[in-house]
Chain A
Amino acid sequence: MVFRRDGSVRQRQQVVELEVGPVVKLDGLDWRENLFPSRNFNVNLEGLKTTKMKRGVNHSSSVEEIPMARLDTIGISSDSPESQYLCGANNNNLSRRNSLISQHSCLSGIESVSHHRVPEMYSDFEVGLYVPNKSPSRSNPHKTDNNGNDGSLSKQIDSARRDAVMTLSEKREKKAEIVRRNSERSKEQTIGIFAMTKYSISMSLQKFKETVITVAYSMDLWYGSLKLIEGSFGSGVASYFRFLRWLLLLNLSSLIISVSFLVVPQTLRQFYYNFDEVPDVTKNGGTYLEKSFFDIPDANGTVPPPLTAASLLHRTNPYGVHAEFSITDLFTGEGFLTATTMYYGSYGNQTFQLFEGYRYDLPNAYFFSMFVCYVVILITVSVSMARSYRKTYIETRGTHKGSLALKVFSGWDYSVATVKAASLNQRRIYNEIKEALNEEDFQKRDTSCLLRFTNITVQFTLNFMFFFLMAGIALSMWYLLGRHSAYLSDSTSNSHTMTMAIVTSLVMNILPIGFSWIVRYEDYRNPRTALYVTLLRTFILNIVVIGTTATFWLTHSDECWETALGQEVYRLFITDFIISVLLMGLVETFWSIIRRKFSKISSQPEFNIAWNTLNLIYNQTLFLVGFYFSPLLSVVIVIKLFLTFYIKKAGALYNCQAPKKSWRAAQTQTIFLILTFIALLGVFLVFGYLIVYVSPSKCGPFSGFKYMYEAILSGIFQLHNDNVFFITVLFLAKPGVIGGVLIAMCIATYILRAKAEAYTIEVEILNNMLIQEKKDKAFLFKHIKNTEKASQKMKGSPTLSSSSSFHTPLSARRQLKITTRESQSSFLSTPNRRTHGLQRKFNSTSQIASRSSWRYGRGNIRPDLLTDQPSTSSSSGTSGTKSDTSEMKP
């Protein structure tokens, strides 16, 4: 990276030197200075990555081919002077050229600026890009002339352009040729040992990646189902199911880790060791009991007999209650389940021997497995969030969102495959286009002061009521939890166990409907805003529910509050499944049956993507909170998601129809990922607090320690107070140091943000320049036409029809320009028009003049040549030109 940066900086100087002629000042700055500082290396690298053909066309020649492909997609024409000097300057340094060029393309507007700057250049560019394709490249594949690095670069670029858009057959030919060429070359020259290892490493990495991808694809879960859903509902609804699948796979990783490192060892231990013997907490004071199953006999000199299944069913749970298994336990999560490996409380704090000679430290294992699970989840969520955010917000920045062009060009959902969905899709596009046509009047609707005031008042009141409601829900949940906790300590009745969970789940299902209902009265101007407000409210509701549960149990240090929290989460989980998946599914089905029977119009409901996805996020947050206290919750969530997929799929296919409005799947998906990430961060904060400030109860792997972090530090790192590392950690944890780090981070963020804002402004300026140029060009074309007319009059014999200038083929347009120039020169009263030297001289001067005027872009348009010329010669165009020039001047 550093190398590139250096290289590119040097290049920039070269560029400026090379382009001595017209260096344009934009608001007092060299415009090149404006262009190049805005390079974004990440974007560049990304760009390179995407252009590189997946499983590259050629591993062997990757050094050479990728830059060319990159060139192609940037669209720099070999004919444009831009690429001539870019490439010419770096003939021998491909990677540097590459970096420069990708910089060149990094800003959205810039490409266009560079290509549209000068009309001549523009047309050249078009010729360069399209002429090879006009003679259809498919029918006569160009035999590439690969002369190596020293060959003419423009030819290479030409061939590279064809690379990206070649047909498969051509690609295969090209591949064969490259392989042949490379084998020849390798005979001639030997590669250094360093390069050799480098290539072999990168090749084996590539191969490994391929294998991984192949394996991943071959295990593509629910491929057919997703295809079916996509076909009948489009990609919007499918995005929900894809999100579900993503969560399932994510949780599967936690399941594998937690089961293999926690549940299995603990179960083995229970089988081999007498479970009822509660370790003496007072004796162990900070160290672990060394016990093993095989080699350490007990006091009588006999190895304890392994437990039988029958004795397992009749053992004592931490509350001292003998529990027998009953069906209701599956719903309450209590009773028999309390003492199983389901919950935190049943994991011991011993180190034991699973196999001869191998100690297994359960508290360490517990902490580390959980840590790895959470970190895996964090990394996955943040990476996908960042990627999705970049795709939908950064790469697509600068578009007007309601653009009609987008509706036309990316309106059709290519994945749709059923007749019904297709006709709905067509109707949707029709409606959207109609709406967009009418929108202009709509946007300019009168917003009187009174109306706005009432609007704001309504919004304010409703938001206030919303927060009031949230507080009420939190309080009532607290009350219910307190009652349940009181019952629990009495251990007399379990009848109220489910109350909290059922009430909460009902609230969770009913309130969002209310939210989407009240948002209509708030009259948000943009429907997107309304959707986001509803989403945010539902999300806050989720957070309130989960936060209250977690806070209650964290502050009520019960006998074994970790298990109790785990059970609470389990109950919420189960009731949510029953109510929002099963019950709602049944209600929907019932409703649609009634509709089908009694109403003539077959209008089925649409699949509510937003609500369903938020439900998934709620589930995931719940899982993240509960997982630490209940390792087997990962199994529950995986089963739950699995069943949810099938139930929802059946419900959707049976009850719903394709959405009538377009669902911006990409953007909304990013929002969902961001919400998941926020929830995850919240969970991390809670756990940080838990580890440092909350003392663990007398059950579970961390019993006997005052705080969890002590167990982690002393047990895992084998550290004590006098250890250097420990002292360093303590020093780093001091408020002053953390504060310093935070301040530094704030400053860094501020700088980056300021930079980003500057770039935004820059892009805006460039965009304005573009628009200005567009106007300029139209203006110039008009003049050229006028001149043309005048020249015809002068000559008396028309050579080209002036009206055709816009829609004539390019060659004709170029011809036209040349003629125009000639005619212009005639106006400049060049005595002999046929004098070629003079002619060329004139052309070049006028080109330079025009180029500089284009770059100024603010109305200084060749006053000597164009503005005055027609006004003296042609009578028809005079009035128009006058008014135009006055418009152009700022």
Chain B
Amino acid sequence: MGNKLVTFTEEQLNDYQDCTFFTRKEILRVHKKFRELQPDLVPRTMTKDDAVHVRVARDIMERLPELRENPFKSRICEVFSSDGKGNLSFEDFLDMLSILNEHAPRDIKVYYAFKIYDFDNDQFLGPSDLQQTLRLLTQSQLLPEEMTQVCEKVVDECDVDADGRLSYMEFEHVITRAPDFLSTFHIRI
């Protein structure tokens, strides 16, 4: 391995391997992907600071082939970015793909799914969050009254404490039992 250009230090790689659901090879693959987005900004060798401080802007991030067609792409970027604006550093990026990896356990995926659908960050999926989700899912094809109807039904199905919105527990209760959640909430890198 000595003849190769070193992208990460051994310690970094170990850390990443321990803290994500990736293997070494996959981490390097992720780095390659990250670099391809903005080759002039992202250095080939990532010292410790670069992995945290070099950020790729959100609009560039959304051009990632795996995200490009995803209606929630900007929201995903926001959720995983450490500055909260959707600009991702390498570690954020690695984190995101690790959560969306097929080896990540259900619980963590559910947690992040909740965050993604919670557009207004109020820790509840209220009617506005649901409407926003529906809008993105169907490209605003649904009529407004249909939209409210769907929202009402969804809330009615999941809402245990009758407060008109879904808390994390309620969301988890429903989504952990969705048979296809794991297979659809998954991006192959």
Contact = CB atoms under 8 A, between A and B. Distances in A.
Nearest to B149: A437
B84 A139 contact: yes
Given A171-B19, A430-B138, A777-B161, A226 B174 contact: no
Interface in A49-70: 50-51, 53-58
Interface stretch (A535-543, A660-668, A866-874): A660-668
Given A395-B177, A403-B174, A168 B69 contact: no
Contacts of B122: 809
Interface string B85-101: 00000011011001010
Contact of A168 (B95, B172, B184, B187): B95
A432 B102 CA distance: 26
B115 to A, nearest CB: 9
A437 B182 contact: no
A396 B177 CA distance: 4
B92 A168 contact: yes
Given A175-B19, A416-B69, A167 B95 contact: yes
A221 to B, nearest CB: 14
Interface stretch (B1-9, B22-30, B34-42, B54-62): B22-30
Interface stretch (A20-28, A128-136, A610-618): A128-136
Contacts of A795: none
B176 A395 contact: yes
A223 B178 CA distance: 26
Contacts of B82: 138-139, 167, 169
Interface string A765-785: 000001001110110010000
B175 interface: yes
Given A168-B19, A415-B187, A75 B174 contact: no
A774 B92 contact: no
A108 B177 CA distance: 9
Contacts of A416: 69-70
B173 A108 contact: yes
B18 interface: yes
B108 A164 contact: yes
A75 B84 contact: no
Given A56-B18, A806-B164, A168 B138 contact: no
Contacts of A442: none
Given A235-B184, A404-B150, A774 B161 contact: yes
Contact of A666 (B26, B154, B183): B183
Nearest to A73: B107
A421 B69 contact: yes
Interface in A151-183: 164-165, 167-169, 171-172, 175
B123 A134 contact: yes
A112 B178 contact: no
A210 B133 CA distance: 38
Interface string A220-238: 0001001100110001000
Contact of A433 (B69, B117, B138, B162): B138
A112 B160 contact: yes
B157 A403 contact: yes
A125 B170 CA distance: 13
Interface stretch (A405-413, A673-681, A857-865): A405-413
A391 B154 CA distance: 24
Contacts of A112: 160, 169-170, 173
Given A412-B137, A430-B142, A666-B182, A405 B174 contact: yes
A214 interface: yes
Contact of A75 (B149, B169, B177): B169
A664 B169 contact: no
A410 B23 contact: no
A415 B181 contact: no
A666 B183 CA distance: 7
Interface string A375-395: 000000000000000011001
A12 to B, nearest CB: 24
B20 interface: yes
Nearest to A425: B69
Contacts of A409: 113, 117, 133, 171, 174-175, 178, 181
Given A167-B92, A168-B95, A214-B23, A404 B154 contact: yes
B10 interface: no
B173 to A, nearest CB: 6
Nearest to A216: B23
B43 interface: no
Contact of A133 (B68, B123, B164): B123
Given A396-B179, A433-B138, A437-B149, A214 B174 contact: no
Given A50-B106, A168-B20, A412 B141 contact: no
Nearest to A409: B175
Nearest to A422: B69
Interface residues of chain A: helix, strand, loop or mixed (majority): helix
B136 to A, nearest CB: 9
Contacts of A210: 17
Contacts of A391: 179, 182
Nearest to A224: B188
Indicate the member of B154, B162, B176 with the most A CB atoms within 10 Å.
Answer: B162
A206 to B, nearest CB: 11
Given A168-B20, A414-B187, A433 B142 contact: yes
A164 B172 CA distance: 15
B65 interface: yes
Contacts of A165: 108, 111-112
Contact of B160 (A51, A218, A664, A770): A770
A261 B187 CA distance: 41
Given A172-B15, A403-B174, A405-B157, A426 B137 contact: yes
Given A214-B24, A399-B178, A426-B137, A414 B150 contact: no
B139 A426 contact: yes
Interface in B136-169: 137-139, 141-142, 146, 149-150, 153-154, 157-165, 167-169
A442 to B, nearest CB: 15
A400 interface: yes
B134 A408 contact: yes
Interface in A77-113: 108, 111-112
Given A130-B123, A410-B184, A54 B103 contact: yes
A437 B148 CA distance: 11
Given A50-B105, A412-B71, A57 B18 contact: yes
Contact of A419 (B69, B105, B165): B69
B188 A415 contact: yes
A169 B52 contact: yes
B43 to A, nearest CB: 18
A484 interface: no
Given A136-B84, A235-B184, A412-B184, A217 B174 contact: no
Nearest to A667: B179
B135 to A, nearest CB: 11
Contacts of B70: 412, 414, 416, 422
Given A50-B106, A426-B138, 11 more contacts: A53-B19, A57-B19, A112-B169, A175-B19, A214-B25, A398-B177, A409-B175, A409-B181, A416-B69, A437-B149, A437-B153
Interface of B: 15-21, 23-26, 52, 65-66, 68-72, 80, 82, 84, 91-92, 94-95, 98, 100, 103-108, 111-113, 117, 122-123, 126, 130, 133-134, 137-139, 141-142, 146, 149-150, 153-154, 157-165, 167-188
6 contacts: A54-B105, A130-B123, A396-B179, A406-B174, A410-B184, A781-B162
Shortest beta-carbon contacts, A-B, top 8: A422-B69, A778-B162, A50-B105, A171-B19, A410-B181, A399-B177, A73-B107, A396-B177
Interface of A: 50-51, 53-58, 73, 75, 108, 111-112, 115-116, 122, 125-126, 129-130, 133-134, 136, 138-139, 164-165, 167-169, 171-172, 175, 210, 213-214, 217-218, 223, 226-227, 230-231, 235, 239, 391-392, 395-400, 403-406, 408-419, 421-422, 426, 429-430, 433-434, 436-437, 662, 664-667, 770, 773-775, 777-778, 781, 806-807, 809
